[in-house]
């Protein structure tokens, strides 16, 4: 078997740990050109958000090349319950799937059935674009695809917190992604969106501990770079340092302020 490229070694890297913390881009604006630019920065991976972002399947599939040309892996967050899209995105060459609102063992098993080939799941065969990207024979891809890709379940509700050990116990679930905004809504019974609170950190720390017990990795969404650093300190393996729209607007605001503050009348 040929050795995987650094791109296709991402799954092994995040599973193994000891990498010092990974930082990923989070992109909801459906622009392949913008993805190409962001991929030049020092991100460890790039996530296309198809749940709240406006990506369609075809555009997302075509954008994988814009990420891989920069030597980075592409991951996708699918819409809630759209597990069939997960299979098609893996066929297109994505290195991982993030599934929102996985609230039970049954949800986790359903996700794995679409993202892993037998014996772990029932993913249907048809990875034509993935084969082009990975550059290995079909027979080798069939044997290694389950290891070359990651399946990540999002924990963001009270039900998911209660079932986290059951979810982690499903073979084929490689890691957990904590969604702090939805989790804060759940913890406050719909009273507020407050992702950067001690209540959220308490539950995040609990999920991290359970992931360590199951020898699986944990990811989380940080509202900005400082918050992402705090999450890495807590023990997360991969974090988001704000989404694309926040980064663009913050950068624009910073440069506008610099121009106006630097203007000498």
Q: Taking a C-beta distance cutoff of 8 angstroms, is the pair 176, 205 a contact?
A: no
Which structural domain range is residue 52 located in? 10-260
5 lies in a domain? no
Mean pLDDT of the chain: 97
Q: Read off the pLDDT band of 265 (50, 70, 90).
A: confident
Which is the catalytic residue, given 37, 52, 133, 206? 52
Tell me the percentage of the chain whose pLDDT exceeds 90: 95
81 lies in a domain? yes
201 lies in a domain? yes
pLDDT given for residue 5 in this prediction: 76
pLDDT given for residue 130 in this prediction: 98
pLDDT given for residue 168 in this prediction: 99
3 lies in a domain? no
Neighbours of 212 (CB within 10 A): 13
pLDDT, tens digit (0-9, with 9 covering 90-100), for 67-115: 999 999 999 999 999 999 999 999 999 999 999 999 999 999 999 999 9
Catalytic residue flag (residue 52): yes
pLDDT given for residue 212 in this prediction: 98
pLDDT given for residue 1 in this prediction: 45
4 lies in a domain? no
93 lies in a domain? yes
CATH value at residue 91 = 3.20.20.60
Cα–Cα distance for residue pair 165/120, rounded to 1 Å: 18
Element (H, E) at 74: strand 74-77
**Counted domains in the chain:** 1
pLDDT of 185 over the 50 cut? yes
- Residue in the block written with tokens 């609102």: 101
- pTM for this structure? 0.96
227 lies in a domain? yes
Q: Taking a C-beta distance cutoff of 8 angstroms, is the pair 242, 224 a contact?
A: yes
């Amino acid at each position: 078997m040929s050795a995987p490229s650094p791109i296709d070694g991402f799954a092994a890297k995040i599973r193994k740990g000891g990498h010092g913390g990974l930082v990923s881009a989070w992109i909801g604006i459906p622009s392949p050109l913008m993805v190409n630019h962001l991929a030049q920065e020092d991100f460890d991976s790039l996530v296309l958000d198809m749940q709240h972002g406006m990506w369609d399947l075809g555009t997302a599939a075509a954008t994988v090349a814009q990420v891989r040309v920069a030597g980075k892996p592409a991951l996708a967050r699918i819409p809630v319950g759209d597990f069939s899209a997960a299979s098609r995105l893996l066929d297109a060459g994505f290195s991982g799937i993030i599934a929102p609102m996985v609230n039970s063992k049954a949800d986790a098993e359903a996700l794995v059935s679409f993202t892993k080939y037998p014996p772990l799941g029932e993913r249907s065969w048809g990875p034509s674009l993935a084969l082009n990207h990975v550059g290995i024979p079909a027979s080798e891809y069939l044997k290694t695809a389950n290891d070359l890709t990651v399946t990540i379940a999002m924990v963001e509700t009270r039900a998911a917190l209660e079932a986290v050990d059951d979810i982690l116990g499903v073979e084929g679930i490689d890691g957990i992604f904590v969604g702090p905004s939805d989790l804060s809504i759940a913890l406050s019974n719909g009273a507020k969106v407050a992702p950067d609170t001690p209540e959220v950190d308490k539950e995040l720390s609990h999920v991290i501990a359970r992931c360590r017990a199951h020898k699986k990795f944990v990811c989380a969404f940080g509202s900005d770079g400082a918050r992402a650093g705090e999450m890495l300190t807590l023990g997360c393996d991969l974090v988001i340092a704000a989404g694309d729209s926040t980064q663009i607007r913050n950068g624009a605001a910073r440069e506008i302020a610099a121009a106006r503050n630097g203007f000498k009348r």
